[in-house]
Amino acid sequence: MTSPLIRFRGVTKRYGPLTVLDNLDLDVERNEKVAIIGPSGSGKSTLLRVLMMLENIDDGVIEVGGEPLTHMDRNGTLVPASESYKRNGRRNIGMVFQNFNLFPHMTALENAIEAPRKTLGLTKQAATERGVELLDMVGLSDKLDHYPSQLSGGQQQRVAIARALAMRPQVMLFDEVTSALDPELCSEVLNVIRRLSDKHDLTMLMVTHQMGFAREFADRVCFFSEGKIAEQGTSEEIFGSPKHERTQAFLSAVM
């Protein structure tokens, strides 16, 4: 048996008195596609943010590829990772946010080549070749020189996906990437994600309110409630016959 690529054990994250992740355990296998659903405020974004090391955890362990993201000191106190360790760890993980977060003063192509040049030290030519290929893959080969303000929300989000992929991550995290989009723009972004998920060498965690897409896309669905996974299973299990009352109530409210 191989060990999971991503492993959360007893992970707790608090904001002041508020416990947002509550002693959370989660294993994600290599190449697995996991959908994360649940009510607003249940800790879904925080789960992705701690994995991306954008937030420090208060307790527990997160490992990626067997490497812990945080360390205990001799007294058993959790020591946050150094900035250089975080930068290094993030290379392996691409994240796409609800609000695109593109660099506004850079064209689509410049957005896609910035990180590989700076962080991976690729030459301009190598980074450009990769960027052009990825923007073509997301259907934007005619928009290379457009600035974000000249692109629709769906196009901006596809640039954001290409930019994240430019680092050749093993893991892609998607946090409600279609929530800010009109329905027709939404489907162009979901089509890109669908195409990506057919590539088997990507592990994907996706927080989404698109239940139809989650059902089709996910190998496994985790239902979040109050900082915990209240129920998880295959999409058949969760959407077909949810066991917990809270999952049932949530699904009947959103579907």
CB of residue 214 to ligand ADP, shortest distance in Å: 14
- Kindly report the backbone phi and psi dihedral angles of residue 229, in degrees, each rounded to the nearest multiple of 5, phi listed first: -85, 110
Q: What is the 3-state secondary structure (H, E, C) of 44-89?
A: HHHHHHHHCCCCCCCEEEEEECCEECCEECCCCCEECCCHHHHHHH
User: By CB under 6 A, is residue 134 in contact with ligand ADP?
Assistant: no
Binder of ligand ADP out of 2, 40, 77, 84 (CB under 6 A) = 40
User: By CB under 5 A, is residue 178 in contact with Mg ion?
Assistant: no
Among 1-9, 29-37, 40-48, 118-126, the segment contacting Mg ion (CB under 5 A) = 40-48
For the four alpha carbons of 198, 96, 14 and 42, in that order, the dihedral sign comes to negative
- Report which of 116, 113, 115, 168 is spatially closest to residue 135, judged by C-alpha positions: 113
CB of residue 175 to Mg ion, shortest distance in Å: 6
The residue assigned the tokens 């239902």 is 223
- Kindly report the backbone phi and psi dihedral angles of residue 16, in degrees, each rounded to the nearest multiple of 5, phi listed first: 55, -130
Binder of ligand ADP out of 7, 26, 35, 45 (CB under 6 A) = 45
Residue whose CB is nearest to Mg ion in the complex, by number: 45
State which residue, 55 or 110, has the beta carbon closest to ligand ADP.
Answer: 55
- In the complex, which residues of this chain contact ligand ADP (CB under 6 A)? 15, 18, 20, 40-46
- In the complex, which residues of this chain contact Mg ion (CB under 5 A)? 45
